[in-house]
Structure formats: structure tokens, C-alpha cells
Amino acid sequence: MGKVAFVFSGQGAQAPGMGKALYETSQAARSISDTLDAIRPGTLSMCFSGTEEDLRKTENTQPCMYLTEIAAAEALRERGITPDAVAGFSLGEITALAFSGIVSKEDGFRIVTKRAEFMQKEAEKHPAVMDAVLKLSDERVEELASLFSKVYPVNYNSPGQVVVSAAEESIAAFEAKVKEEGGRTMRLNVAGGFHSPFMHEAAAAFSKELENYSFSAPELPIYSNVTGKMYEEDVKTLLSKQIESPVRWVSIVRNMIAQGVGTFIEVGPGSTLTGLIRRIDKEVRTYNITDAASIDRIVSEVSNG
């Protein structure tokens, strides 16, 4: 089985009703959820009853995702499932930081809420979209993006899947070119061109915000979106860079596997990361957590090796 990793979902995996089943069945999930909702009242209501459009707004998406993810992780810990390493995709990296003990769960929530505000502001100033490009090599996507103004490869998700952030006025021509090359595109359920130069001012504002928080050494290995490797540099520097830098998810997963991880548990709504990890390496075991039944399955199979 190897080591166990928790991987925390990123923006785009949100869905109405997320976290409700665990809130109703896990005391640990309910306790941390109530604590965080007291910091930002209405977050739980948004998770459970918000519409798709409500949840798509970055200022709502990120705190709702963080709350759902940290609650799910606590529900797993309540049942005796703990990781040997953690990583998160985009905003999920902040959840991973909190779960690893680098920052408190409450401060992690405050940090992600401010991050969302800064990114929402820049998204409104620089209208952009994100497309997953399928069936083309990373290098070819990079070459095609370079032909257009304001199209940037940003997320290296899996072999044959690279996400680009693009200005609204550039995306149609880029999509046509991808189709001409034999690839296809899929629009992501996000409201901005993240991990790109569109977010430069958000990264600068976030860097200043992080000066208000204290960070400790991690209690377990955690991997950086910016480098794809275990954290070694200053946490504040990497976190602020992350907003405007590509996510090196393939590198993260491969480096975790090289360090002995054989089981990945996606902690958060949906199964996006589970699918990406399977495409990166078909030999590892993957799980995603949605409700009490999924936790029962994970406890049974992971505990028994």
C-alpha cells in the first residue's frame, strides 16, 4: 500500500450541498465547521444551500471549499485515518498547510478568505477564463499559447492535460487553433484567469496580508504548487507566488510517489484530483471522500492494507 497522502481539492470542484452529509454524521466535521462558520457567518449555509452561481464566485468558492475540506480531513482523522504527507491543488494547498500544522485551522480559513477577496477583485478587473486542453503534449500547448496575446499555460494537471488562463477576447481563437491541431478544450467552472499574470496584483496584496500571520514548521511533509517539491523555502514567499504561478501537479504527484506514497485520498468535494492521479500513475490506489459510506470504505481498505 505504501504511505498515505491526503490531497485537497481546488477551485472548480465545488457543488451545492457540499459537506452536508459529513456535517450530519461526523462530530469532528461538525465541530470544526461550526468554529469556522463563526469566523465568517453564512459559510455553512452557502455550502449546504448556495446555488451553483453563488458558489462559482471566488469570494464564496474558496472559503466554502476550505471549510468542506478541513471538515472532511477531521472526519477521517476521527476514524483513525491520518496521512504521511499532504498536498493541495491551488486553494487546497492552504488547507494542506493548516492540516500539516504550519498554520492554525482558524488562521488558514482567514487566509483563504482574504486570498479569495484579492483574486475576486483581480478577476473583475481582468476578465478571463480557464480552459483544460486535452490530447496535446505540454510542449505543444505552450507553443500554441505563445501565438496569442494573454494566453498562459498555468496548471500541469496530468499527461495530456494542461490548463490555460486566457483573456476573454483571446480564448475563441485559441480554442479554434487547439481543435485544428487535433486537441480539444473544456471550460473550467471558475470565475477568473488564475495562476497567471492576470493575478499579479492579487499576489502582491496577498504577500502583504501574510505578514499578519505566524507560521510553524510542518508536522508532516507538504508539497508546493510552485516547485512541485516538499516545502523548503519560506512559506509566505511560496504562497504569494502561487497565485500567479503555474500549478505543478504532475510533479507533485510523481515526487510523492517517489517518496513512497502509494495511496492518495482526495479530501474535498468531487473526484477531480483522483482522476488526474490515476492518469499520472495507474498503479497507486485512490479514494475520494463524500459521505459516511465513503469514509467506511476508506477505513476498511486503508486500515487493512
State the catalytic residues: 90, 195
Report yes or no: 74 and 32 within 8 Å, Cβ to Cβ.
yes
d(CA 165, CA 129): 6
Indicate the pairing of strand 184-187 with strand 128-134.
Answer: antiparallel
**Eight-state DSSP code of residue 216:** -
Cell 497507486, residue located: 284
Cell of 1: 500500500
Report yes or no: 114 and 94 within 8 Å, Cβ to Cβ.
no
Strands (E) across 144-239 are located at 151-158, 161-167, 184-187
d(CA 14, CA 154): 20
User: Which residue, 246, 257, 247, is CA-closest to 280?
Assistant: 257
Strands (E) across 97-173 are located at 128-134, 151-158, 161-167
d(CA 113, CA 263): 30
d(CA 189, CA 210): 27
d(CA 92, CA 88): 4
d(CA 89, CA 13): 11
Cell of 154: 498555468
